[in-house]
Amino acid sequence: MPKKLLLVAVVVVLLGGGLWWYLQSRGSAEKGLVLYGNVDIRQVSLAFTGSERIAKMNVEEGDTVKTGDVLASLDTRALRLQIDKAQAQIAAQEQNLLRLKNGSRPEDIDRARAQDQAARAQLDLANTQLRRLQNIRASSPGGRAVSQQDIDTATSQQKVAQAELEDRQKSLRLAQIGPRAEDVAQAAAQLEGARADLALLRHNLDEAELKAPQNAVVRSRLLEPGDMASPQRPVYSLALTDPKWIRAYVSEANLGRIKPGMKAQVFTDSHPERPVDGHVGFISSVAEFTPKSVQTEELRTSLVYEVRIIVADPDNRLRLGMPATVRFADEPN
C-alpha cells in the first residue's frame, strides 16, 4: 500500500511539473508582441507604348513569369516597312555626303574648262562679227551698207557671249574649289538625323514586345489578340513576387516594443506549422484610425501605426490579401 501511494505521489508530482512547465512556456511565449494583418505585394499594370493591333498574347492568368519574358506582341508589319524606308534614305544620305567630301571629279573640272573655252571662242566670234560690221559701215558711203539694226544685233550677241563666258569661268572656279564646308556639314547633319529616325523606329520595334519587368504572377489578362493597344489601355496586371510584406497595425501602447530590423515570424491559417521569417522594414511616423479590415482585439476607434514586416517567401506560400499573424518572440533591447 505505501508503494502504491508513493507511485501515485510521483505521478502527481510529474504531472504537476509538466503542467507548470507548459504554463510557464506558454506564458513566456505569449509575452512577445503579436500583430494581425494581411499579405501585401506590389502590383504592376503593363501597357504598350505604341498604338497598334495586338498580334499575340503569350500568358494566362496565374502564370508565373520571369524578368524579360515576352508577354504579348503587336503587329509590326507597317513598322518594318518604315525601317526599310529609313535604311534606304540613310544609304542615299551617305552617298551624298561622300560625294561632297570627295569634291569635284577631274572629269567635271575638264568639262567646266571645255565649256569655258567654248564660251571664249563664242565671245571672240561675236567680237569679230561686231567689228566687221562696224568697219563696213564706216567704209561705205553714208554708212548705208550696214543698217543700225544689224549693228544692234551684233552688239547684243557680243554682250550675251561676254555674259556666258563669265558664267562658265565661275563654274570652272567652283568645280576647282569643290563644295563649301557648310554644304558638307549640312549633309552630315541630315545623315545623323536619318540615323536618329532609324534608331527611333528600331526602339519602337523593341517596344512592340511587352516584357515582364520583374519576376511576377499574372493577375489579369485584360486584352486579346486583335484588340487595339494604346498607352492608356493596360494589357496585363502583374503581382510581383518580391518584395512581400505583411501590412499590420500596432497600437500606441505597443509602439515602443518594436523597432526597424526586428525579427519576426509570420503564421498563416493554411500553413500554421510552417512560419515564414521576416523583419520589420517600416514603421509609420503618422498615427491613423484603425482600418476596418484590420483584425485586432483593440477598439476600432484606437489610433494605430502602420507596420510592414518584410518576409522571405521562396516557396511562394503567401498570397495577396491573405490574413497573417505576426509574432515577435523577443523583446527589443
Q: What is the pLDDT of residues 233-249, one digit of tens each?
A: 999 999 988 889 999 99
Enter the DSSP assignment of 302. Answer: S
Which of 244, 223, 208, 234 is closest to 45 using CA atoms?
234
Instruction: State how far the Cα of 332 lies from the Cα of 35, in Å rounded to an integer.
Output: 16
At residue 267, the pLDDT reads: 92
Sign of CA pseudo-dihedral 3, 4, 8, 11: positive
Instruction: State how far the Cα of 199 lies from the Cα of 177, in Å rounded to an integer.
Output: 36
All structural domains of the chain with their residue ranges? 82-202
48 burial via Cβ count (<10 Å: 0-12, 13-18, 19+) = buried
Measured CA to CA in angstroms, residue 62 lies from 87, 237, 322 at distances of 42, 11, 16
At residue 333, the pLDDT reads: 44
Enter the DSSP assignment of 245. Answer: E
Q: What residues contact residue 46 under an 8 Å CB cut-off, 6+ apart?
A: 71, 210, 212, 213, 234, 235, 236, 237, 238
Instruction: State how far the Cα of 303 lies from the Cα of 148, in Å rounded to an integer.
Output: 117
Per-10-residue mean pLDDT of the chain, 333 residues long, equals 59 56 45 86 92 95 93 95 96 90 74 83 86 79 73 86 85 74 89 95 95 93 94 94 89 86 90 88 80 53 82 85 85 47
Secondary structure class of 280 (helix, strand, coil): strand
C-alpha cell at 42: 506590389
Instruction: State how far the Cα of 192 lies from the Cα of 199, in Å rounded to an integer.
Output: 10
- Which residues on neighbouring strands pair with residue 266, listed in sequence order? 276, 326
Instruction: State how far the Cα of 313 lies from the Cα of 47, in Å rounded to an integer.
Output: 28
